[in-house]
Amino acid sequence: MQPKLADVDVRTDLRPGDIGAIVQMHGALYGSEHGFGVQFDAYVALGLHEFYTAYDPDRDRVWICEHGGGMIGSMLVMHRGSDTAQLRYFLIRPECRGIGLGGRLMELGMQFVRERGYHSVYLWTVDELPVASALYRKHGFTLTEEKPSTAFGKPLREQRYELVLPDVRPATPSPRLPTSRS
């Protein structure tokens, strides 16, 4: 049974078992839906290891979506230098798609990158995900690069989408001159 968006819990902390669950969810779903091989599992595992070892709570964030005691989705933002972020591992289980959860995660992610003052955010995806690509474009991302790949066990086209954000950091206040109290 498909949950309602209001019934989905979204948390921003990693707990024991989450990394393995994200790898398993990605491997199983991309394997069954798109024919990806075990290479993709390893790719996701390495990326999550990188996220965990470089984690900075001021610059990085994970969103874990749960319903009925299990993980139904994930997304993370990780820093790539001082002013660039990467959106990664954005996936929702098929039975939970179409309830607005993808849009909600994108809103949370874009709010986070803006609050943290990133100048740009990018993501890599593949050409076999038109619904996801449409969601990225809806949130202002543009396709900036395409390249052929066999990295996940089959021929496909990897795509890079990027969003350049306006500088919304507050202006530096003018220094206050000391006042005399005589």
Q: What is the pLDDT of residues 84-128, one digit of tens each?
A: 999 999 999 999 999 999 999 999 999 999 999 999 999 999 999
* Token representation of residue 116: 């943290």
Res 177: pLDDT: 45
Query: Is the model more confident about 170 or about 50?
Result: 50
- Cα 110 to Cα 179: distance, rounded to the nearest angstrom: 42
- Cα 37 to Cα 43: distance, rounded to the nearest angstrom: 10
Given a cut of 60, whether residue 139 has pLDDT beyond it is yes
Given a cut of 60, whether residue 176 has pLDDT beyond it is no
**Do residues 55 and 71 make contact, with C-beta atoms less than 8 angstroms apart?**
no
**Do residues 138 and 163 make contact, with C-beta atoms less than 8 angstroms apart?**
no
What are the b/e assignments for 71-81, b being 16+ CB within 10 Å? Answer: bbbbbbbbbee
Res 178: pLDDT: 45
Distance, C-alpha 127 to centroid of its chain: 17
